Structure 1
């Protein structure tokens, strides 16, 4: 698999990549990671000369060789210099994929996110987490036209697409026009970090606050959540984890914390009355399953991937209706029996997203695709 995003923890995509890597360790003795020198390091911004050289290389380089390096009995990499940046530059210029020549003629690579690279002669699988930028471009900062061009190229040249929910799968089929059998929902393994033993910041008390976790993208629906919370007039504080300092209002009970370590975040979720996550658009919705696994009640959206992932283990609200969100917040604030029921149902639902289930789905898919590839070349 690609080894770049693993070195950038914190996002849902990086969490997925880490889960994919763990699954690969279960499936083979020495899983390969395709890396370049930028992986795992903070590189300084490129100079004008470096950008010019990369631009010229991207225009002229259609193929690049990767060298096999065995680090230990349990770790090996394929190394290709500057491959990830070079591929992006080349795609922006030419709308063509960068081809990698590997030292082994046959193999399978699972790209954990859409990248404009393929290994020649291998089975190339790409995970497309969602097509939100193509459906609701106003909800994300991503360049919609460029992303569409990349996804269309991947669908055309890749051997298979993997995604994380049936909702995302159907959207990929509808928007990109792929055959249904070209896309598989393999879900994701969700394993929250062990909660850190810590004191809650003032004025938070165990079981007496709501928590939201996420970025400031419009699709996260933070402004409507804040308005709904003020309408609900509950005595429980609302804690926004992420870049949301502009919403802080101690008089209204609204607090902000910056992004936390995984262990600290698990502790904050565990001690919350409920996680509130009425997002407008998600491919999966990692925070709601993490909360369920930690035994915390969940409020989330009544549509799309979030409703699919939650099923009956969460309180569902119309994410576009402030009154709907406010009513559910009041239900959770005052409904002790409801909260206890959600905690129990949540733990049961979260068990569906186990590492074993994820690894089994991947194993079956890899065997099918590799066998088909072998037969096609007989």
Structure 2
């Protein structure tokens, strides 16, 4: 059933502020995109924030208090919208989950609505339809590629699913992985994708990297991104175009950089703000993103939106690319090298990929994302408020 915009506008909506910091990760970009899309779908969202008190001892505080709900109180505008807050709830919720194995309950005055959590956090808004975005199942499917404890993560997913109205995710591949890993009902997990929102201005690349004269990887420097094989493939390709690695330190960065051995045409820029990253993507000869595991692969979608050719991996990244990229086996260094050599010299191929990417990027507009969210909200409004989730037998 499709509800009118007027009906949706009367449905309170809230979103958490935990991932809205300046970190620049794919998850924080998703959180900002969700915040941008919600006013197109329903009422102006309410932002759930935390009064940060990092000097405190959350476990000591929790042991002194009974496991009752925390009250969210008005806090004035944040991120340009109205907000509610309670003391250090994001950090305390992790300690609460460790002690009690449950999501920390929160209460807020006013009628209930839809609460969007942009990441799996052990929090729930009592009486509201709590929706958690689960971006991938990498901690369970590929625990060798992440520092996240798979057993704790599995317990966390079970805890939030007890109170969730639904789980959102960002790709069909991720949806299937969540259903497979949790055993939940197929309709309990909804793929709404992820939009690309570009900054107003795009700076030029730094000195030494003229537009169209370099290959680019952007993302955190960690084993999941497959950078050692990418560097080996770039060297084997024989190309004269440099390879620029852009992104913050991640897990086991030192080991990755030792294997990559920057220098001799491989450069590295640490954390850049979002406009800087987008400018680098826009001016690259091609985006090289042969990651071993992703939930969506935002750099692929961003490059396509900007008309930059893409080389990426089989699996979920091929789903995101939608037939508009060069797809490689991320374990095949020789095949990757051959693809890089083609991208370096074949202008017709680059033009074809750029044009195909722009067409594919129509799936990543904010309007399309908002439309999928609206359909999802319609489904939630039409269904009765949920109690504890029961795994199907």
Query: Contact 1:195 / 1:266 at 8 angstroms: preserved in 2?
Result: no
Structure 2 portions without partners, runs of 5+: 1-14, 388-393
Query: Contact 1:90 / 1:97 at 8 angstroms: preserved in 2?
Result: yes
Alignment partner of 2:197: what SS? coil
Picking from 55, 58, 76, the partner of 1:46 is 55
| 1:353 aligned residue | 364
Q: Which moved more, 1:161-170 or 1:187-196?
A: 187-196
Aligned residues: 364
Distance in 2 (CA, whole Å) between partners of 1:46 and 1:5 is: 21
| 2:382 aligned residue | 371
Distance in 2 (CA, whole Å) between partners of 1:37 and 1:370 is: 31
| 1:206 aligned residue | 211
1:71 deviation in Å? 3.6
Query: Contact 1:195 / 1:270 at 8 angstroms: preserved in 2?
Result: no
Picking from 299, 311, 315, the partner of 2:322 is 311
Alignment partner of 2:48: what SS? strand
| 2:293 aligned residue | 281
Picking from 236, 240, 246, the partner of 2:245 is 240
Alignment partner of 1:255: what SS? strand
1:33 deviation in Å? 0.8
Structure 1 portions without partners, runs of 5+: none
The structure, 1 or 2, with the larger RCO (C-alpha pairs under 8 Å, 6+ apart) is 2
| 2:92 aligned residue | 86
Go from structure 1 to structure 2 and tell me whether the alpha carbon gap of 1:63 and 1:199 turns closer, same or farther (over 3 Å shift).
closer
Query: Contact 1:124 / 1:160 at 8 angstroms: preserved in 2?
Result: yes
| 2:105 aligned residue | 99
For normalisation by structure 2, the TM-score amounts to: 0.87
Tell whether 2:263 aligns with 1:250: yes
1:292 deviation in Å? 0.8
| 1:224 aligned residue | 229
| 1:22 aligned residue | 36
Q: Which moved more, 1:26-35 or 1:104-113?
A: 26-35
For normalisation by structure 1, the TM-score amounts to: 0.91
1:26 deviation in Å? 2.1
| 1:343 aligned residue | 354
| 2:7 aligned residue | none
Distance in 2 (CA, whole Å) between partners of 1:155 and 1:181 is: 13
| 1:128 aligned residue | 134
Distance in 1 (CA, whole Å) between partners of 2:163 and 2:331 is: 38
Tell whether 2:2 aligns with 1:2: no
Distance in 1 (CA, whole Å) between partners of 2:105 and 2:20 is: 22
Distance in 1 (CA, whole Å) between partners of 2:279 and 2:201 is: 4
